[in-house]
Amino acid sequence: MRFIAYLLRRVLVLCCLITFLVGAEGFSQEHPNLILTKAGVEKIRAELGGIPIFDATLKQVKEEVDAEIAMGIHTPIPKDYSGGYTHERHKRNFIILQKAGVLFQILEDEKYAVYVRDMLFQYEAMYKDLPVHPKERSYARGKLFWQCLNDSNWLVYVSQAYDCVYDWFSKKERKKLEKNLFRPFADFISVGNPQFYNRVHNHSTWGNAAVGMIGLVMNDDELIERALYGIKDVKLDVNAKDNDGGFIQSKDKKAGFLANLDEPFSPDGYYTEGPYYQRYAMYPFLIFAEGLQNVRPELNIFAHKDSVLLKSVNALLNLSDKDGEFFPLNDGQKGMSYYSRELVTAVDIAYHFGGYNAELLSVAEKQDRVVLDDSGLSVALGLKENKAKPFPKKSILLSDGPEGNEGGVGIIRYGNEELSLVFKYAAQGLSHGHYDKLSFSLYDEGDEVLQDYGLARFVNIEQKGGGNYLKENKTWAKQTVAHNTVVQNMTSHFKGKYEIGSEHHSELFFSDISDPDFQVISAKEVNAYPGTSMHRTMAMIKDTDFERPFVLDVFKITSDSENQYDLPFYFMGQVMKTNFEYDTPTSLQAMGGDNGYQHLWLEGKGKPSGDNTKLSWLNQGHFYTLTTTADSSDELLFTRLGASDPEFNLRRDAAFMVRRKARNTVFVSVVEPHGHYSAVSEFAVNSNSSIAHLGLIYDDENYTGVAIEDKEGNTLIFIQSNTNGSSKAQHRLKIKDKEYQWTGPYYFKQ
Amino acid sequence: MRFIAYLLRRVLVLCCLITFLVGAEGFSQEHPNLILTKAGVEKIRAELGGIPIFDATLKQVKEEVDAEIAMGIHTPIPKDYSGGYTHERHKRNFIILQKAGVLFQILEDEKYAVYVRDMLFQYEAMYKDLPVHPKERSYARGKLFWQCLNDSNWLVYVSQAYDCVYDWFSKKERKKLEKNLFRPFADFISVGNPQFYNRVHNHSTWGNAAVGMIGLVMNDDELIERALYGIKDVKLDVNAKDNDGGFIQSKDKKAGFLANLDEPFSPDGYYTEGPYYQRYAMYPFLIFAEGLQNVRPELNIFAHKDSVLLKSVNALLNLSDKDGEFFPLNDGQKGMSYYSRELVTAVDIAYHFGGYNAELLSVAEKQDRVVLDDSGLSVALGLKENKAKPFPKKSILLSDGPEGNEGGVGIIRYGNEELSLVFKYAAQGLSHGHYDKLSFSLYDEGDEVLQDYGLARFVNIEQKGGGNYLKENKTWAKQTVAHNTVVQNMTSHFKGKYEIGSEHHSELFFSDISDPDFQVISAKEVNAYPGTSMHRTMAMIKDTDFERPFVLDVFKITSDSENQYDLPFYFMGQVMKTNFEYDTPTSLQAMGGDNGYQHLWLEGKGKPSGDNTKLSWLNQGHFYTLTTTADSSDELLFTRLGASDPEFNLRRDAAFMVRRKARNTVFVSVVEPHGHYSAVSEFAVNSNSSIAHLGLIYDDENYTGVAIEDKEGNTLIFIQSNTNGSSKAQHRLKIKDKEYQWTGPYYFKQ
């Protein structure tokens, strides 16, 4: 026994010695430690087979990776834009590499490690002598891809694969990979491309995360520092712009991951580029945060800026329609939703690191898959234990700007997203911003009633301009006339100039979303057209005389000169009825030469028949009526997109546009969903508007008043203060011998 | 005991006497006996609570009727077209009356009988002095509605209500109702409107059924005779037409329900007006047949014409896409489907009276409701006992014409309706027919790839022309250019004249749908353009080098003169890519002045770049490519619907049109679905065509040969005989030194 005890002591000493030596050589960390942890993997292995959503995801991922392994490894010489073969192949490679790494950890099957090793060494062999990518369009060309952005995507994913297989590699293998592939790769996208790396922009976020993550795996402090704080002492041309027309250099010259967290996110978690890019940036933000939390917990990254990362997940989920599709504010491809892989990651990580919010579980349940890591395990266990609660999307105001004082986006919802209004009074949104101050869009359940066009791009579809932004994105989608807001003298806000737009933002004037039957947001924009002030108030009202809630829109314009104001409504569906006569031309002409008007055909032109203009349309089995106060000089225009579109890049969408020449004016409108039609029963129910008359009953510098008379003879009165947004201010106003008294910025009586 | 026996005998004699007396007074029938039977009702009552689909339907119907009862009875003075209040109210009334009658029988709650009685007597009081409907548009104005057709609808439903409450009424009440309401009602729509009643047309079917059903309830042989055989010795103007432009008088002057069964149905159960109207006529056909079967079983109506009624249900179900929506052949409103109330009735009755076909149960299961009668009980019991089998929709050829020798409609399906081709080579289809010989449409699962426009009408939507046919139905939807077939010299088939079109039909030349990987139908049309013969062959091919099945289209034209041929493809979705240059005009002009061309804007114009013309598009996440053989003189046109449309009645749909000037020519085309795109994953997979070259390798009077070379370098050869459709004929042909030998009308080699 003594001898055995002696032996044990010797073994113990030996072990300590080895641990010390290994530590001294920089292997003090255990792997995996990035998105999987040693403890987490053990827990996953123990739970496997009893965690349905995790088990199902694992099965799918295994099938996917096994199929790829069977097809062999392909690392073609880079050649194509997105959508082309080499681009899509390398993209597929990094996604599969990450998954193979995870499978190796969870399933302990060496074939996945072999696959990762073999592919990495093919890349290692190729990368050493790889020139910059042959396609020249990007302001920051990558090597594997045409942009550094995509190279960064690659490294974010491949870092995870490397972490998973790290311990299985020999020291020599690791050294070779790091020396010839990972370190030069990280250097190329950072110090090699500071105009890409040292910005406040979603591109840089990817770059920062890529450098940081490989730095965490390699335990390379220099790279981690560079990731968090950017490259020190870089001089960038202050006038240089990227491919989207955005400035390279941010205002205060900050850079790095923390700067990218601080600046584009408002304190509410709204990302200034808009939800589509927030979704895109979400992955590097959260996956790198997860790695930091695991390896550098002392940074407490999830608590940074009052937990802005966790708030941003909540904000982003709220920026979706009933079907989970993101509102296409600024450049946003329609159809992108919280079912995307980025949001699966975001929801799982926010659940795991954000205090196990049970509402997130119901979103994860809809997503029907999890990330195969510690956070996904948490979600799977939560679901298994039936902890999920509904994620209620209510009305919400999200501020914009690093300090939350640069306007914002308001979403007014009625019921269970029966009707959702998106009102934008935000800042420019960096290079992906549109010139659409005070614009709005409207959703009936998950369907658009009045649309925001979104972007003019077919992301990753090679046939359409290499999958990149089409020129119509600039000439149409970004222009003011492409949005449901006022255009003055056929010129976009800020003359469509990024330099000017970036200097300004709209201002929230007042809001009240406390009463579900009357929710209102009011905002002002005074810089879009110098000398002209625009003030728009949007309310969602539910009244017992109306079958459904409706939207009241009061757009007040004050100017120091006479102008032509165009207010388009991009209605979805087919015209049912108008209350005015109009002519349709025998040939179609473009409505203008620039500012987006060159893309609009004029399909019809009429004049008001009285003091209300009405248009009804039918879409997806629902009727809608726009009622708007008319001026006898108004021109009522039907427009159709598609002019100056030599490659059929644009959809043939319609708008109804009210054109008015005036100095000061108010456009008062009601958008009213009503009734329904079924092509199966062929019953048309409640197919007519319930509004008998809409009137502007008062308007001066201080107050604007509106009366909505319904067909039952009842009248709703709305009056707003135009100057005092305070909830405490007391008002008194006489309109037609009747005195109104109220406290706060508005008066409303049903 | 003796006394009791004596008493019993007396009672027995008394009962017999009463029965005899009642019988002598025409009350020999027991009620209900039309769609419910006494025995059936007892069985339903016994099963209630244990037949889920029936119980659920009953609950819904009860809620619906109870809500109507609570709202009170309204029988306004007739005034409106369809979509208007009085029309919709009277329509709702007859639907609710029928349901209330059924509820009275099943639930034995007198309130339903009271409701039926009260409403019927309101109608009775009103009808006596009711003039003809004030709206004058119809060729056969009704009294409650603007057309006799809708009055007939009313009587078909109300007969059922009356039957259900018949025994509950006093004799005096019955007499009053029959004398003042039902008999004059039946007379008005028949002898009062022979131009409506005495035809072969879906209108008359409704009229016949209405008269017959009230006749069955009233046990009125005269009405029943009139229903079955029409009005004797009526003289109709042989040149008179109805509102749709159809002749009033049928060719052989037959009339009545049996004539309407014999003539418009082919032996396969195809209804010559098309599936939309077959669905509409289905209800009176089957509900009256059910009544006849119950009251006059000796007629054996379901066996009539080799069980054509039962076959027609099968045919109609097969005339739907994967979502159950009917192909919009001829006048058909898109969206109408086998979920309609008419098809619920049709499926239930076909199941109950057609030998309990278990495949129909799976359709009933999808419909998720049943008719509340004996047939619905049968279905409910069948489902309860898990007898349902899938209803497989396979490729099918349906003949047209009373004898089945007037062309037809062929549907080629691949897999589980993965791809479905609808090829029309039928007769004119009475007044609802379109001038679209040899046209086709194509469906990817339930989505249109190449569309048939359908009709230009918003059925029952009052705002759109009173819910009736819009003038664009004639000027656009019926015209040849609105369809995927050849237009010669910008003139519709048969000059768009119904008189000429009704004299002719296309001919099936050959077909073979036996091999799922190569299914083909070939048809000819020689009368649409005198002097020009058109021969179109359409095949669906699945080849291992192609991801998905594709369509080969060989359109051969032989003429005695030089002509301009336009072949449009109404593709759904957005242009992705062409292999040719084209110009887009700075202003849009209509392409012509009539024959539908007045509605088409010319959006682009190009010339072929080689001997193949290619167009790719994206729709609903799927890519498609049209490859077509080019002639250097071809004009390639992009068209957009919407010109000459002063009320926005038309959709803004696109077409790609190949225009060729020639005497004899062959358009060889392949429509190829491939790949997919997801806006969530943003992956574009297989977004390019797999066809390297499409060639017309042989063409003369006798044979036409096609070669399809794919990108793997393999070539598919298709050769057809142009003159001999026999499956036994032997052929031998040399093409470029290679000799082909085969038996039957075509050669195909993969």
Flag if A461 and B618 touch (Cβ within 8 Å).
Answer: yes
Q: Which residues in chain A are contacts of B681 at CB distance < 8 A?
A: 340-341
Catalytic positions of A are 277, 432
Q: Which residues in chain B are contacts of A654 at CB distance < 8 A?
A: 652
| Phi, psi at A534, each rounded to 5° | -120, 135
Flag if B682 and A336 touch (Cβ within 8 Å).
Answer: yes
- Pick from A341, A680, A688: CB nearest B339: A680
Over range B686-706, report the average pLDDT: 97
pLDDT at B23: 39
Query: Over pLDDT 70: what percentage of chain A?
Result: 96
Tens digits of residue pLDDT in B569-611: 999 999 999 999 999 999 999 999 999 999 999 999 999 999 9
Minimum mean pLDDT among A16-30, A191-205, B102-116, B524-538: which range? A16-30
- Pick from A463, A640, A654: CB nearest B576: A463
Question: What own/partner pairs with CB < 8 Å and gap ≥ 24 does B6-9 have?
Answer: none
Q: Which residues in chain B are contacts of A678 at CB distance < 8 A?
A: 335
User: Which residue range(s) make up the domain with B99?
Assistant: 73-256
In a domain? residue B388? no
Over range A385-390, report the average pLDDT: 98
Domain containing residue A466: CATH number: 2.70.98.70
Closest Cα in chain B to A276: B680
- Pick from B459, B587, B677: CB nearest A461: B677
Q: Which residues in chain A are contacts of B463 at CB distance < 8 A?
A: 576-577, 616, 687-688
Over range B194-210, report the average pLDDT: 94
C-alpha angle B277-B282-B283 in degrees, rounded to nearest 5: 120
Domain endpoint, select from B206, B237, B256 = B256
Closest Cα in chain B to A604: B646
- Pick from B459, B588, B683: CB nearest A460: B683
Flag if B88 and A683 touch (Cβ within 8 Å).
Answer: yes
Q: Which residues in chain B are contacts of A455 at CB distance < 8 A?
A: none
pLDDT at B706: 98
Amino acid at A257: F
Q: Which residues in chain A are contacts of B643 at CB distance < 8 A?
A: 586
Flag if A458 and B618 touch (Cβ within 8 Å).
Answer: yes
Neighbours of A607 (CB within 10 A): 15
Tens digits of residue pLDDT in B46-101: 999 999 999 999 999 999 999 999 999 999 999 999 888 999 999 999 999 999 99
Flag if A638 and B648 touch (Cβ within 8 Å).
Answer: yes
Flag if B680 and A616 touch (Cβ within 8 Å).
Answer: no
Closest Cα in chain A to B580: A647
Q: Which residues in chain A are contacts of B575 at CB distance < 8 A?
A: 647-648
Q: Active-site residue B432, yes or no? A: yes
Flag if A638 and B646 touch (Cβ within 8 Å).
Answer: no
Residue A22 has pLDDT above 50, yes or no: no
Over range A306-330, report the average pLDDT: 97
- Pick from A463, A640, A687: CB nearest B462: A687
C-alpha angle A3-A7-A10 in degrees, rounded to nearest 5: 140
| B581 in Cβ contact with B606 (< 8 Å) | yes
Cα separation, B67 vs B423, whole angstroms: 46
Would you place residue A27 in the very low, low, confident or very high pLDDT band (cuts 50, 70, 90)? very low
Across-strand partners of B352?
none
Would you place residue A25 in the very low, low, confident or very high pLDDT band (cuts 50, 70, 90)? very low
Over range A437-442, report the average pLDDT: 98
Residue A534 has pLDDT above 80, yes or no: yes
Over range A207-221, report the average pLDDT: 97
pLDDT at A26: 41
Per DSSP, the residues of B181-195 read IIHHHHHHHTTT-HH
In a domain? residue A736? yes
Tens digits of residue pLDDT in B358-411: 999 999 999 999 999 999 999 999 999 999 999 999 999 999 999 999 999 999
Burial class of A390 by CB neighbour count within 10 A (0 to 12, 13 to 18, 19+) = exposed
- Pick from B461, B586, B683: CB nearest A590: B586
Cα separation, B507 vs B523, whole angstroms: 6
User: Is there a cis peptide before residue A32, judged by omega within 30 degrees of 0?
Assistant: yes
Flag if A588 and B588 touch (Cβ within 8 Å).
Answer: yes
In a domain? residue B177? yes
Instruction: Name the average pLDDT for chain B.
Output: 94
Instruction: Name the average pLDDT for chain A.
Output: 94
pLDDT at A15: 46
In a domain? residue A343? no
Closest Cα in chain A to B334: A679
pLDDT at A83: 80
Strands A622-629 and A447-450: unpaired
State the catalytic residue, choosing from B277, B283, B351, B435: B277
Tens digits of residue pLDDT in A443-454: 999 999 999 999
Q: How far is A180 from chain B (nearest CA, A)?
A: 30
Q: How far is B416 from chain A (nearest CA, A)?
A: 24
Domain containing residue B128: CATH number: 1.50.10.100
Nearest alpha-carbon partner for B346 in B289, B301, B298, B398 = B289
Tens digits of residue pLDDT in B300-312: 999 999 999 999 9
Tens digits of residue pLDDT in B244-257: 777 777 666 789 99
Q: Which of A149, A681, A687, A689 to mutate to test the interface with B (most CBs of B within 10 A)?
A: A687
- Pick from A467, A651, A687: CB nearest B463: A687
Tens digits of residue pLDDT in A343-384: 999 999 999 999 999 999 999 999 999 999 999 999 999 999
Nearest alpha-carbon partner for A572 in A673, A660, A680 = A673
Neighbours of B148 (CB within 10 A): 30
Q: How far is A588 from chain B (nearest CA, A)?
A: 5
Count of A-B CB contacts under 8 Å = 126
Would you place residue B235 in the very low, low, confident or very high pLDDT band (cuts 50, 70, 90)? confident
Domain endpoint, select from B211, B227, B256 = B256
Flag if B587 and A586 touch (Cβ within 8 Å).
Answer: no
Amino acid at A630: A
Q: What H or E segment, with its residue span, contains residue A674?
A: strand A665-677
Flag if A575 and B647 touch (Cβ within 8 Å).
Answer: yes
In a domain? residue B308? no
| Phi, psi at B724, each rounded to 5° | -125, 105
Residue B470 has pLDDT above 90, yes or no: yes
In a domain? residue B179? yes
Closest Cα in chain B to A640: B652
In a domain? residue B724? yes
| Residue A748 token pair | 């409303």
Tens digits of residue pLDDT in B9-28: 555 544 444 444 443 344 45
Over range A33-40, report the average pLDDT: 95
Q: Active-site residue B31, yes or no? A: no
pLDDT at B159: 98
Cα separation, B466 vs B402, whole angstroms: 34
Query: Cα-atom radius of gyration of chain B, to the nearest Å?
Result: 29
Flag if B577 and A652 touch (Cβ within 8 Å).
Answer: no
Over range B482-499, report the average pLDDT: 98
pLDDT at A577: 97
Domain endpoint, select from B201, B236, B256 = B256
Task: Specify whether the backbone of B417 is left (phi greater than 0), alpha (psi in -120 to 50) or beta.
Answer: left
Q: Which residues in chain B are contacts of A583 at CB distance < 8 A?
A: 646
Flag if A648 and B339 touch (Cβ within 8 Å).
Answer: no
How many independent structural domains does chain B possess?
Answer: 2
Q: What is the dihedral of CA A244, A247, A251, A256, to 10 degrees?
A: 70
Over range A556-579, report the average pLDDT: 98
State the catalytic residue, choosing from B201, B203, B432, B535: B432
Q: How far is A692 from chain B (nearest CA, A)?
A: 17
| Phi, psi at A374, each rounded to 5° | -60, -35
Tens digits of residue pLDDT in B497-513: 999 999 999 999 999 99
In a domain? residue B37? no
Closest Cα in chain A to B617: A463
Would you place residue A236 in the very low, low, confident or very high pLDDT band (cuts 50, 70, 90)? confident
Residue A163 has pLDDT above 60, yes or no: yes
Flag if A684 and B460 touch (Cβ within 8 Å).
Answer: yes
Query: Over pLDDT 90: what percentage of chain A?
Result: 91
- Pick from A340, A461, A584: CB nearest B645: A584
Over range B181-197, report the average pLDDT: 97
